[in-house]
Amino acid sequence: MLGVQLSLPGDFRAMNHSSEISGFRNLGLVVIGRNEGGRLARCLESVRGVRNRVYVDSGSTDGSIALARREQVSVVELPVPPHFTAARARNAGLAQLLTANPELEFVQMVDGDCEVRSGWIAAAVATLDAEPDLALVFGRCRERFPERSIYNALCDDEWNAPIGEAVVCGGNALFRVAALRQVDFYNPSMIAGEDTELSMRLRKRGWRLRTIDVEMTLHDAAILRFSQWWSRTRRSGHAYGEMAFLHPDARDPNWPRTVRSIIFWGAAMPMLLLACAMVSLILGPRGWIVTILVFLSWPIRMAQLALRQRRRGLSSRVARASGILLILGKIPQFLGLMGYHRNRITGRQSRLIEHKGPEIV
């Protein structure tokens, strides 16, 4: 072997990938999306070899439905009401898939902004075949364009889960259908964190989850603006609030502790700073000293988190951004947390919190 790396045409690579997975007759695949456009095109191309494919669309206006039909994928268009949720879309896709193919043993769940990597499905099926008590497996998800924004770069690190036994999974994973049936699939009312909540119920029923050392997906977060990051972070606060409410006894992860941290940094500390500033207008210099000391708690905590991230191997730039945004993000997380409880108390259904717009096909 002379060490020469051949560059294969894209069509050949796609064909080779398809041939790898075309033999899995006991496998199905559900793709969900809303206005993913070109991202969806890459996603569907990467899974052409799967025989049983369903695409579930949540009100797209960018041509996604026509694109999926051109790819000869079975399409489910979610009606409204009720409001769109990813969990509802996943359940609809699973229902369509299992009605047509009740004998399926495994199902790959994929978000429409992700491309499935060559070799992933074969490795995942082999892992589930070897360990009957595994409910699901997932692998390394990488960000497609981490260089385009600091937010994309942070997503790439977020996807980097430790290899081995896992406590929760993300949106992309290969499931054992029997495990999904046992816990009655996803919670359709959740607008975020539905995969994490499903993971908790699976573990409570004795199932195990695992991350394996295989490239699984290439993800396109497409977060290029601060406002997008803010919306995505607010959505995570909504999910944390709901997880803590549904699983108050959880210890791994400890959702109530996460909520307490959000309340402390996202509400209590800003209110304390504001109160100190108002009192300082009366007390003068002595009051301002206290205000400054309270304010310094933010940069100190940000620096601690940045140092921790740097020690994990992140670049200085990404580690600094991580430290800053982890603390600053407590504010939109608190808003999401309060939004969840407001809707819960008033009996209103939560709506999707989106950070992406349509990408025209």
Single out the residue of 32, 83, 33, 73 nearest to residue 51, CA to CA. 73
Nearest of 130, 224, 127 to residue 173 by alpha carbon: 127
For position 356, what pLDDT does the model report? 78
Q: Where are the alpha helices (DSSP H) in the chain?
A: 10-21, 38-46, 64-70, 86-100, 120-130, 150-158, 177-182, 194-204, 226-246, 255-263, 269-283, 285-311, 316-328, 330-346
Residue 191 carries which side chain, given as an amino acid letter?
I
- What are the angstrom distances between the C-alpha of 270 and each of 113, 296, 330, 338? 36, 12, 10, 15
pLDDT for 239 equals 97
Amino acid at 293: L
The confidence score (pLDDT) of residue 284 equals: 81
Domain 10-15+28-223: CATH superfamily, name plus number = Spore Coat Polysaccharide Biosynthesis Protein SpsA; Chain A (3.90.550.10)
What is the pLDDT, as a whole number, of residue 16? 45
Tokens of 317: 């730039």
Cα distance between residue 178 and residue 166, in whole Å: 19
Residue 206 is encoded by which pair of tokens? Answer: 């004795």
C-alpha–C-alpha distance, residues 105 and 52, integer Å: 12
Q: Tens of pLDDT along 286-301?
A: 778 889 999 999 999 9
Q: Which two tokens stand for residue 153?
A: 């770069």
Measured CA angle at 209 (ends 214, 313), to 5 deg: 50
Predicted local confidence at residue 21, as pLDDT: 60
pLDDT given for residue 23 in this prediction: 61
Task: Give the whole-angstrom CA distance, residue 216 versus residue 197.
Answer: 21
Cα–Cα separations (whole angstroms), residue 335 to 11, 13, 269, 280: 46, 45, 14, 27
Question: Would you state the structure tokens that stand for residue 2, as one six-digit string?
Answer: 């002379």
Convert the pLDDT of each residue in 227-237 to its tens digit. 999 999 999 99
CB atoms within 10 A of CB 340: 24
**Domain assignments of the chain as residue spans, ordered by start:** 10-15+28-223, 225-361
Kindly list the averaged pLDDT for each block of 10 residues, start to end, along the chain of length 361: 34 47 80 94 94 95 94 94 93 96 96 96 96 97 96 95 95 97 96 96 97 97 96 97 94 93 97 92 83 93 97 96 97 98 94 77 48
The pLDDT, as a whole number, for residue 282 is: 85
Identify which of 20, 215, 39 has the alpha carbon closest to the alpha carbon of residue 117. 215
Mind listing the pLDDT tens digit for each residue in 96-135? 999 999 999 999 999 999 999 999 999 999 999 999 999 9
